[in-house]
Amino acid sequence: MTVLAPRGFVASATAAGIKPDGQLDLALVATEDARPVPVGAAFTSNLLAAAPVQVCRAHLTASGGLSAGIVLNSGCANAATGSEGRRAAELTCELAARALGVRPEHVLVCSTGTIGTRLDGDRIEAALPSLIGGRGSTPDHAAAAARAILTTDTRTKEVVVEADGFVVGGMAKGAAMLSPNMATMLAVLTSDVSSSSQALHTVVSSAVRHSFNEMTVDGCTSTNDSVIVMASGVGPEVQEEALAEALTAACADLALQMVADAEGGTKVVRIRVVGACDGGSARRAVRRVAESQLVKASWFGEDANWGRVLSELGSAGTPFDPDRVSVAYGPVTVCRDGVAVDHDEEALRKVLGSKQFEVICDLGLGGGSATMISADLTPAYVELNMGRS
C-alpha cells in the first residue's frame, strides 16, 4: 500500500509517452478529497535546479506550504531546459489543478530522467485526464504510481512505518547520480498525522540528513532531487519527535533500497568512521572513502584492500594519524595502529563475499563518528552509463 497506507490519500499512474517504450511514466499522489494539506519538502542543493524543483519552491512559497497533490514524471528530467521547461512544469500544475479543483500553487511537480531534453507538454496535457480520472486508493494504485517514477531502477522502492497511533508511507526512485544533498532521487512520503507545514519542513530536513544524505552511489549530485511529505490530517496530532523518528526510519529504509538497487551494484557497504576529532571531520572522511573509485572497485572484487581505505582517510583533508588508524571489515580487523595485523582469512572472505557488510575505520583521535552507505563500482555501472542516455 505504501503511499496509500496512511489514510486520506489516492494515487494514480498512466503512460503518457514520455518514455518511448509505452511504460508507465506519469504518477499522481493526492489527497483523497483534493483538499490542500500541509507538506514539508527538501530539494537538491545543485545550482542547476531542474524546472520542476524551481516550480515546487515557488508553489510552496505561494501556497504557504499547502498542497493537494504531486504529479511526477519519469523519462525526462526537465533540467537545463530554460524558460520553456519552466512553462512545461507550470502547465502540468495548472492542468492538474483545474481537474482537481484547486489553485495551481496547490500542485507540486517532480521529474526524473535525462538532463537537457525537452519535456513534451502536449503529451502531459493529453495524459492528465486519465491520470486524474484514474485515481484510487487500492494497493494496485499505489504499486502503479511507484512503478511509474522509475528510470534505470530495476525495482520499486516502497516503505510503510507503523508508528504509535499514526502511519508513514513512502515511495521513491533512484539508482545513479546518487550522492547526497541529496541523490538523483524522488521520494514522496505520506502520513495521516495532523501537522503543520512548518513542523513537516523541520522533520523532513532532519530525516533527509540522516538517510538520503548518508548514502552515495557515485558521488554525483542530481538536478532533480526532491523529497516531499504530505500529512492528510485524518489522524491525530503527534509529538514532533515521534513523527521525526518514523519519517527518518521510512527515509532510511528507502535510501537503503536505492543503494541496494544501485546501477550495476552487487554489494551494499556501510562505512563507519569512528574516533575522528569531531563530527565534521568524520563526515568528510567517511564520504571520501564511500566515494572512492578504487575502494569501491575493490569491494566488487571482494578484495580487502585496506591500504586504499587508509590512503583515502589520509587524503580527506581532515586530521589523521597514520600510527593510530585501524580498519575492520565486519568483525575482522585487518589493520591496527596503521599496519597489517594477522587475521582470520576465512572469516574475512566470508564478510567480503556477502551482499552487505560494514567497513569500520577507527581514527583513534577523538569522539567524532559518521556513517555512509555506498555500493561497489562494477563494469556494469560503466556500461549502464556510457551510452546515449
Positions annotated as catalytic residues are 184
CB 144 within 8 A of CB 134: no
Length reported for the chain:
389
> Least distance in Å: CB of 287 to a copy of itself?
12
Output b/e per residue, 6-39; b: 16+ Cβ within 10 A: bbbbbbbbbbbbbbeeeebbbbbbbbeebbbbbb
Pick from 9, 306, 329, 357 the residue near a copy of itself by CB under 8 A.
306
Report in angstroms how near the CB of residue 19 gets to a copy of itself at its nearest. 17
Strands 157-162 and 167-173 come out as antiparallel
Quick count: other Cβ atoms within 10 Å of Cβ 339? 11
Question: Cβ(131)–Cβ(98) under 8 Å?
Answer: no
For position 345 contacting a copy of itself by CB under 8 A, the verdict is no
Q: Is 383 in the site for a copy of itself (CB under 8 A)?
A: yes
Binding a copy of itself (rule: CB under 8 A), the pick from 21, 22, 47, 241 is: 47
The C-alpha angle 198, 102, 200, rounded to 5 degrees, equals 15
Options 61, 154, 354, 389; binder of a copy of itself; rule CB under 8 A: 389
Stretch that binds a copy of itself, among 140-148, 230-238, 367-375, 381-389 (CB under 8 A): 381-389
CA-only gyration radius of the chain, Å:
22
Q: Is 382 in the site for a copy of itself (CB under 8 A)?
A: yes
Distance CA(117)–CA(79), nearest Å, equals 8
The residue range among 22-30, 131-139, 197-205, 217-225 that interacts with a copy of itself, by the rule CB under 8 A, is 217-225
**Residue ranges in 159-178 that form contacts with a copy of itself under rule CB under 8 A:** 176-177
Q: Binding segment for a copy of itself among 79-87, 134-142, 146-154, 364-372 (CB under 8 A)?
A: 79-87
In 10 A of CB 130, how many CB atoms?
Answer: 14
Please state whether 155 falls in left (phi above 0), alpha (psi between -120 and 50) or beta.
beta
Which one, 79 or 96, has the nearer CB to a copy of itself?
79
Applying CB under 8 A, the residues found at the interface with a copy of itself are 45-49, 77, 79-82, 84, 114-118, 176-177, 181, 218-223, 292-294, 297-298, 300-301, 303, 305-308, 310-315, 320-323, 335, 337-340, 377-383, 385-389
